[in-house]
Amino acid sequence: MKTQVAIIGAGPSGLLLGQLLHKAGIDNIIIERQPPDYVLGRIRAGVLEQGMVDLLREAGVSQRMDSEGLPHDGFELAFAGRRERIDLKQLTGGKTVMIYGQTEVTRDLMHARQASGARTFYNVKDAQLHDLKGHKPSVTFSHDGETVRLECEHIAGCDGFHGISRQSIPDGVLQEFERVYPFGWLGVLADTPPVNEELIYANHERGFALCSMRSATRTRYYVQVAAEEKVEDWPDQRFWDELKSRLPADTAARLITGPSIEKSIAPLRSFVVEPMQYGHLFLVGDAAHIVPPTGAKGLNLAASDVNTLYRILHKVYHEGRSDLLERYSELCLKRIWKAERFSWWMTSMLHKFPGTDAFSQRMQQTELDYFVGSEAGRKTIAENYVGLPYEVVE
Ligand code: APR
Ligand code: PHB
């Protein structure tokens, strides 16, 4: 079997890249380890930057997002009994974010791919990448008990943090940068109306809390928990009580609770590999980097990698610009490191760090007080939250 671009992984990165390439007449095949329902069952983030919204429109998969997504002009920071609004629109000259769940983005992309007739193999096993530096790159995998050999020109490693693409690069090539935080987020999804029209990020002496949503009738709430906590120890009532204790009193009083429809604990990690390419293989999204969820950057960074790789491949196939291929990693990493910085900073500013001394606590409170009290500070938060501009490929 032959294709121009072999895509490993049918998460948002792989599906979006596949859709853009297909629209541009560049042949691609996606292989995915899991069945489609499993991919759709993962509950992830829900804040889309303007750049990602525009890219989904360009890919022709924005119809439902444009009718059902919730554009948000701002969000709130709650700390020391105060509620401070970051007016994204006003502080960035008109930019906003879109509340639309990753699950829905994935569903829309899956439908578009099915309608396009482009090939996707789900439930594949034992995917292996071959001849990454040579003249005949290929991917082998088993599907329905048969071994398939897929010859290709380029391989997009869109297979997430635990995928095989990054692991296929020989030892000694990649440099890894990592920070593991000593806590996680316990998240609950519930069919209840949001407590507030906009998201609330709360710094509290009991720990961080976040009020988010998926729609006018579905909410997503989080509380910071110790890294070793178990979901089984968090019945719904304990979760709601803990969340309320960390919110400003007027907000807690308005919070409507209900049975959880999903509950999980996610660890917090910052991770980057350099470079993001090796021969014909290009790492995209979570395969190359992880951010803690505090700045809502994970999915958005995946989209900006896709944008860069798509623009490069477009120029390679339509303008013969093969020279651009070697610039992929350098172009992506500039923006990735800035989003890593913002996510790390938001995490540092809003969470309770075990074992910190009184001086560090005062510094954290003062940092929040300073940033929200200064026009420059609020602008810095806003321009990062709506997303820094995409790198230009030329
Ligand atoms: N072979 C085939 N597919 C694989 C393999 C493999 N060996 N290993 C992993 N995969 C698949 C996973 O099953 C998954 O569906 O690759 C996909 C990777 O998807 P994600 O983990 O969602 O990663 P990505 O598409 O880069 O999405 C961006 O950023 O911060 C996050 O929440 C955000 O999940 C989102 C991610
Ligand atoms: C979410 O809605 O799941 C969400 C929102 C904002 C974040 C992280 C997660 O920063």
Q: Could you confirm whether 370 is annotated as catalytic?
A: no
Nearest ligand for residue 49 CA: 2
- In three state form, how does the secondary structure of the chain look? CECCEEEECCCHHHHHHHHHHHHCCCCEEEECCCCHHHHHHCCCCCEECHHHHHHHHHCCCCHHHHHHCEEECEEEEEECCEEEEEEHHHHCCCCCEEECCHHHHHHHHHHHHHHHCCCEECCCEEEEEECCCCCCCEEEEEECCEEEEEECCEEEECCCCCCCCHHHCCCCCCEEEEEEEEEEEEEEEECCCCCCCCCEEECCCCCCEEEEECCCCCEEEEEEEECCCCHHHCCHHHHHHHHHHHCCHHHHHHCCCCCEEEEEEEEEEEEEEECCEECCEEECHHHCEECCHHHCCHHHHHHHHHHHHHHHHHHHHHHCCHHHHHHHHHHHHHHHHHHHHHHHHHHHHHCCCCCCCHHHHHHHHHHHHHHHHCHHHHHHHHHHHHCCCCCCCC
Active site annotation includes 221: no
- Give the chain's domains with CATH numbers: 5-70+102-177+269-350 (3.50.50.60)
101 touches ligand 1 (CB under 6 Å): no
Nearest CA to ligand 2 atom 1: 45
Condensed to tens digits (0 to 9), the pLDDT of residues 257-274 reads 999 999 999 999 999 999
94-98, 108-112, 278-282, 352-356: range with lowest mean pLDDT = 352-356
Is residue 293 in contact with ligand 2, taking CB distance under 6 Å? yes
- Can you give the pTM of this predicted structure? 0.97
pLDDT at 45: 86
| 15-48 tens-digit pLDDT | 999 999 999 999 999 999 999 999 998 888 899 9
Q: For a pLDDT cut of 70, what percent of the chain falls above it?
A: 100
Band the pLDDT of 121: cuts 50, 70, 90: very high
Task: Give me the mean pLDDT over the 9-20 stretch.
Answer: 98
Compute, in angstroms, the gap from residue 350 CA to the centroid of ligand 2: 14
Whole-number Å distance, alpha carbon 178 to ligand 2 midpoint, is 21
Distance 48 CA to ligand 2 centre (A): 10
Residue 182: active-site member? no
Q: Is the distance from the beta carbon of residue 187 to the nearest atom of ligand 1 less than 6 Å? A: no
Catalytic annotation present for 317: no
**Residue 14 scores a pLDDT above 90:** yes
Q: Is the CB of 192 under 6 A from ligand 2?
A: no
pLDDT of the residue at 42: 84
pLDDT in tens, 313-361: 999 999 999 999 999 999 999 999 999 999 999 999 999 999 999 999 8
72 annotated active-site? yes
Ligand 2 site, residue 12, Cβ cutoff 6 A:
no
